[in-house]
Every structure is written in C-alpha cells, then in structure tokens.
C-alpha cells in the first residue's frame, strides 16, 4: 500500500467503510477496462454516492497529494480508466439519478453514472431521445461518454457527445466545484464545455450533466446490403456520401465479423458468404421524405455492386439487424481469450485501399483481423482476437496495431476516432502533434490540474518530454515542453477523443 493510511481512513469516514475497497481481490475487479492488453491495480477504490461526496473525496486526496482516476462502467477501449498502486480509483457507479427531464426545452440533467440507454428509455414517452449511441450504450455511463466524447453508429447524422452537452457541473482536482456552459447551451465566453468533453478525466470529474434531447424520428428505414468484396463495399460508401445523402447511420462489417456474429446468440441473418455487409439507416420526420431517400439509397447500393439489398420489414427485424452490429465485439470475443479493439480514422475515399492493407498487416504478423466500423465517417475498428497468455503473440498484436496506426496516419487519417488516447496510444501522439502543440496541451491541463494528479500517465507522451523550467521557485509555472524523439507527419491534425 503506497497510499497514506490516513487518506484511506479519511475516505472511509466520508463515504462509509463498505464503499472503500483496498484488498487485492476487490482491486483486481478494476484492473482492466474493455481493452485487455493493459492491466493495473489501483491502490484503493472509493465509490462516492453523490456530488458532495465526490467533492469531499477530491479534497481528501488533494490534502494527501494522492493521484486519482475517475471511472464509469469501465467499458472504455484505451486503458484510460486504469489506476496504478499509488492512485485512488473513484468509481461513479452509484450516481445513477436522472435529476430532471424538461421536454419543453428538450433537455435533461443527469448524474454521471446514468447508463446511456436508460436516458433514452426514460425520455421516449415525450417523443425524445439522447442521440449519441455507443455500441456499449446498454452498459456505458454518460460520465464516461463525456470524458471520452463518445460517438456511435448514429453520430454520422446526429454528432458525437460533444454536440449534445449543454452544461457541466464539474469537481476540479482540488475539490472545487465549477459550472461550465449554460442550460440553454449559449456560447458565452470560451467553450469550456467543449474543452472538458473528451479530456479523458485529466481535468476533473463531471458531477452533473445537462444534455440536449432530440426528437425521435417519425419514420425509419433500415437496409442491409451485401457485397462480394470489401473494395466494392468501400466504394459504395464513397458513392453514397458523394451523392449528397447523409444517412442516419452507415456501418460496415467484413466476412470474418459476420461469421462471428452469425455463430453467436446475436445472429441477425447476415449472409455469411458475403465479403462485406453494409447497414444503412435513413430517418426523418415525414414518411414521404424517408421513402424517397430510401429509394435513392437502394439505387446507389445496387448500382455500386451490392448483391442484394434488403429492407427491415418491421421494428423487430430492424432491432435484430442492429443487435448484430452493436454486439459484434461480444461475438468476436468468442474467437479467442482476448480481443484487441483498435480505432483509427481515414478519409472515406481511401477505405478500400486501407482495408486491403490492414488485411496484409494481419497476414504479415500471423494474425486474424476482423473489421466492423463506422464506414460513413471513415472510423475504422480493426479487431484482433488472440491468446493474451502467450507473450510472443501479444508482441505480434502490439506490432500489428502500431503498423495499422501508422498506415492510417500516413493515409491522412488519425489515431483515434472515438475510443480516446488513454494509455494505449499516448506513444503515438507525436505522429500527429508537434512539440509546441503537445506542450500547449500540457499547459491547458495544468490550468485545471496544476499537480497533474487527475488520471496521470494518460494521453500526453511523457516518455518523450523534457521540461525546461523558467521559474525555479514554482516548478509548475511557465514551463514548456521539449519533445525531441518524434516529429509529426501531420502536425496540425487533431484526433477526436471519444468512446464507441
């Protein structure tokens, strides 16, 4: 135990003995997130029950100079919610209240532990829903969505988490409460909400979240198209977007992924002999408009080489098609004991070439790569099933993942579209950001967290940093960064930091 016993005692007094965990078995529960390639046990876990207790916890940790990591449901895919033995993990799973639903103003106020899908279930009777829909929406929390700027299949039309957050109440690392934004989302002054969303837990903890609610579409059509090659499917995506049509969702799965889904309890009726399938969803507020757009989408798919195009006949079949897509990661988990889920973005026009090269990378490293991803915005998710107990195979997975990231950056893309940087990709940050930009990021972080105790060791590539101090009386004032070992290929490109 490297955390001062006095700090543990103070936490127990604050939240109750049963909500502080410090034994080995209990800590092991929090040693991984959704990405099995990283493992780290925290020194202790505290589970506050309300915003006041979060504030109290952070004040105790400030007093004892203890680092901390906030954690929602632990469904993240970047190692971002892991803590080391010298840090306290703050689990937010008890803060599950929907505090207010305001149908007239189309907004809701929630605590950070509210499950994503539960909010839409609670607002459906008002004809409203919360649009961002990560694949893990049945279990992931809105606090985690805010930290990662989560996306999902329908972000193609509706946008990611940051487009739907109006106001945040946040507990800063020193225990102070601050309100960012406004209930109506008015852009007064600097966009601090936009800065906080996607900051991956390095600025503090969101204790109250005001979200924008979106009217439920009155008409929805979901289509399944299958193709004889990945290249043809990728070209169909480009043809679709080039036509000016922006579907609500445009998702792709390759044959390996389809086979895994169809062999699982999530089978959706996808044709297993297809090299790739596309799920295309069109929605809107009038039947006539949606019917016409569906006709255009079907025509584009057929003229682009689709073997068949099938429309879901009823809501039950539509839900089945989407279950297969959203549970694909779970289905692929049956292939082997571990699954590395990667995340990168490339220009849509390069999808056919990039997918072929990713396949070659898998072959070169003796690995099987499955692809399921948001084709409409070029957000790739290459998945590698492997035996994590074999260190040789783990090394091959790491090298293949790095090769895929380099390939995407060289193609004009970036290292993450929604899963975030976390621990997994911080060594890749110099590929896309120059030293001055990374230094600026660190100075912004220190504006919120001068001691860098909030989610330490994440996002910023500390291994390549050397600080030059200009004020020796205060080592955190006026510092600059000198990152020498890497030069970026695209120094001004920003990755979107968010979770699927």
Q: What is the CATH number of the domain that holds 207?
A: 3.30.465.10
Determine the Cα–Cα distance for residues 48 and 20; give it in Å rounded to an integer. Answer: 9
* pLDDT 10s digits, 77-119: 999 999 999 999 999 999 999 999 999 999 999 999 999 999 9
Number of domains in the chain: 3
Are residue 179 and residue 106 in the same domain, yes or no?
A: yes
pLDDT tens string 152-197: 999 999 999 999 999 999 999 999 999 999 998 877 789 999 999 9
| pLDDT band at 1; cut points 50, 70, 90 | low
Whether 261 is in a domain gets the answer yes
Percent of the chain with pLDDT over 90: 89
Together in a domain, 103 and 211: yes
What pLDDT sits at residue 185?
Answer: 83
Q: pLDDT tens, 290-334?
A: 999 999 999 999 999 999 999 999 999 999 999 999 999 999 988
Summary mean pLDDT of the chain: 92
Domain ends where: 155, 181, 215? 215
Residue 432 forms part of a structural domain: no
Kindly tell me if the per-residue pLDDT of 349 is higher than 70: yes
Under 8 Å between Cβ of 302 and 309: yes
Is residue 278 a part of any domain in this protein? yes
Q: Measured between alpha carbons, how far is 255 from 55 in angstroms, rounded to an integer?
A: 49
Give the side-chain half-sphere CA count within 13 A for 151.
Answer: 29
> Given the DSSP bridges, would you call strands 88-91 and 44-46 parallel, antiparallel or unpaired?
parallel
293 shares its domain with 239: yes
Residues 116, 203: one domain? yes
Please check whether residue 134 lies inside any domain of the structure. Answer: yes
| pLDDT greater than 70 at residue 471 | no
Of 215, 237, 264, the residue at which a domain comes to its end is: 215
- Does the residue 41 lie in any domain? yes
Picking from 174, 190, 215, the residue at the C-terminal end of a domain is 215
Whether the predicted pLDDT of 467 surpasses 60: no
What are the residues whose beta carbons fall under 8 Å from the beta carbon of 116, sequence distance 6 or more?
130, 132, 133, 134, 136, 137, 138, 140, 141, 142, 145, 150
pLDDT tens by residue, 199-213: 999 999 999 999 999
Same-domain pairing of 31 and 44: yes
Let me know if 385 is exposed, middle or buried by CB neighbors in 10 A (0-12, 13-18, 19+): buried
State whether 204 and 223 are in the same domain: no
Distance CA 275, CA 288 (A): 33
CATH at residue 35? 3.30.43.10
Q: Are residues 142 and 211 in the same domain?
A: yes
Cβ pair 418, 160 in contact under 8 A: yes
Whether the predicted pLDDT of 475 surpasses 60: no
284-302, pLDDT tens digit by residue?
999 999 999 999 999 999 9
Do the Cβ atoms of 182 and 166 come closer than 8 Å? yes
In a domain, 399, yes or no: no
Q: Is the four-CA dihedral 460, 465, 468, 473 of positive or negative sign?
A: positive
Residues 263 and 324 in one domain: yes
Could you tell me if 75 and 136 lie in one domain? Answer: no
Q: Supply the pLDDT for residue 189.
A: 83
Query: What pLDDT sits at residue 187?
Result: 72
- List the CATH number of the domain containing 269: 3.30.70.2190
Its domain, for residue 301, covers: 219-330
| 211 and 107 together in one domain | yes
Residue 51 lies in a domain: yes
Asked whether residue 24 is assigned to any structural domain, the reply reads yes
Please tell me the predicted confidence (pLDDT) of residue 462. Answer: 75
pLDDT tens column, 116-158 = 999 999 999 999 999 999 999 999 999 999 999 999 999 999 9
Do both 151 and 191 map to the same domain? Answer: yes
- One domain, residues 57 and 106: no
């Amino acid at each position: 135990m490297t955390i001062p016993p006095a700090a543990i005692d103070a936490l127990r007094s604050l939240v109750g003995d049963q909500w502080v965990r410090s034994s080995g078995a209990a800590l092991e529960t929090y040693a991984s997130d959704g990405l099995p390639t990283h493992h780290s046990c925290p020194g202790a876990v505290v589970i506050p029950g309300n915003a006041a207790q979060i504030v109290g916890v952070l004040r105790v940790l400030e007093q004892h100079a203890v680092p901390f990591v906030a954690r929602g449901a632990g469904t993240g895919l970047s190692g971002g919610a892991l803590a080391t033995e010298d840090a306290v993990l703050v689990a937010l799973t008890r803060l599950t209240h929907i505090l207010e639903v305001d149908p007239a103003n189309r907004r809701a106020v929630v605590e950070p532990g509210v499950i994503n899908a539960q909010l839409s279930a609670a607002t459906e009777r008002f004809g409203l829903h919360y649009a961002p829909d990560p694949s893990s929406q049945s279990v992931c929390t809105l606090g985690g969505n805010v930290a990662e700027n989560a996306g999902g299949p329908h972000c193609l039309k509706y946008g990611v988490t940051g487009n739907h957050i109006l106001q945040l109440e946040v507990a800063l690392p020193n225990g102070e409460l601050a309100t960012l934004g406004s209930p109506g989302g008015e852009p007064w002054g600097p966009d601090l909400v936009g800065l906080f969303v996607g900051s991956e837990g390095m600025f503090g903890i969101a204790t109250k979240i005001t979200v924008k609610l979106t009217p439920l579409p009155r008409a929805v059509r979901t289509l399944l198209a299958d193709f004889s090659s990945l290249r043809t499917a990728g070209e169909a995506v480009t043809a679709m977007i080039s036509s000016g049509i922006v579907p609500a969702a445009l998702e792709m799965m390759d044959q390996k992924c389809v086979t895994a889904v169809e062999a699982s309890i999530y089978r959706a009726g996808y044709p297993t002999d297809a090299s790739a399938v596309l799920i295309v969803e069109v929605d809107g507020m009038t039947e006539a408009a949606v019917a016409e757009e569906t006709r255009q989408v079907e025509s584009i798919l057929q003229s682009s080489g689709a073997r068949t195009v099938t429309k879901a006949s009823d809501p039950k079949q539509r839900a089945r098609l989407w279950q297969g897509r959203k549970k694909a990661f779970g289905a692929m988990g049956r292939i082997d004991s571990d699954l590395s889920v990667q995340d990168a973005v490339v220009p849509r026009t390069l999808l056919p070439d990039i997918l072929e090269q990713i396949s070659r990378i898998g072959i070169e490293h003796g690995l099987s790569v499955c692809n399921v991803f948001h084709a409409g915005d070029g957000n790739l998710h290459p998945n590698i099933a492997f035996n994590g107990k074999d260190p040789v195979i783990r090394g091959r997975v790491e090298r293949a993942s790095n090769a895929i990231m380099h390939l995407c950056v060289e193609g004009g893309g970036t290292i993450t579209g929604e899963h975030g940087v976390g621990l997994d990709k911080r060594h890749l940050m110099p590929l896309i950001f120059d030293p001055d930009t990374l230094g600026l990021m660190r100075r912004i972080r220190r504006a919120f967290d001068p001691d860098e105790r909030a989610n330490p060791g994440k996002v910023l590539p500390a291994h390549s940093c050397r600080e030059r101090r200009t004020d020796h009386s205060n080592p955190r004032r006026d510092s600059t960064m000198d990152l020498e070992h890497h030069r970026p290929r695209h120094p001004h490109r920003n990755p979107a930091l968010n979770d699927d």
